[in-house]
Structure 1
């Protein structure tokens, strides 16, 4: 799993129990999944269709640093399925896992459209192919 994003837990990210608010974490995960899909599918019109069961295994507290890992599972005709793990950067303790996040590629009309992708592509490799 590649961990792309780090977040520093601040007081405004906490719930009434003084631990990381799950809704805030899910918003970060959704944003990270969208960014990953946008880059992979080369289309800014991508939406979240589905998230599988979410397994909270631990929490985070103020001043903890967490990291969000996203990994592709499957390329569909119009979708990209990802999995996610969030862990404490310092202790490596897993905070949450999500086995499936399905992102759908949309056309200008807002309807699903084939993306033509079949494997992970890295931006650095695209730059080599298209010297401009």
Structure 2
């Protein structure tokens, strides 16, 4: 799992129990998956099609730092399937796992657009030196 983004839990991120609001966490995950897929598919018109079961394993409290990790599960014709784990940066305790997030690249008409990708590419390898 590659952990890409860290978030610091602040008062505006909390639910009435004083812990991290699940909806806020899902917002962060969706944004991270979208950014990752846009870069991999080289298509800014990439959307979330599907998220599998979401498994909340623990919580986070104010002041905690969480990190969002993604792995590529598969490349489809117009899609990219990811898995996700969010964990506490300091304790490494898992907070949430999602086995399957499907992101789809679209064309100008909003229909799935084939991308021809079959493996993860790193931006540094795309740059000509």
TM-score category by the smaller chain? over 0.9
Q: Deviations over 1:69-111 (max 9, x none)?
A: 0110000001000000000000000000000000001001111
Unaligned runs of 5+ in 1: none
Measure, in 2, the Cα distance between the counterparts of 1:23 and 1:85. Answer: 15
CA distance in 1, matches of 2:71, 2:31: 14
* TM-score, normalization by structure 1: 0.96
Q: How many residues align?
A: 129
Distance 1:122 1:108 in 2: 25
CA distance in 2 between counterparts of 1:16 and 1:79 reads: 37
> Hey, what does 1:86 align to over in structure 2?
86
The equivalences for 1:25-104 within 5 A come to 25-104=25-104
Equivalent residue, structure 2, for 1:109: 109
What is the TM-score of this pair, normalised by structure 2?
0.99
What is the CA–CA distance in structure 2 between the aligned matches of 1:71 and 1:108, rounded to whole Å?
A: 28
Q: Who is 1:7 aligned against?
A: 7
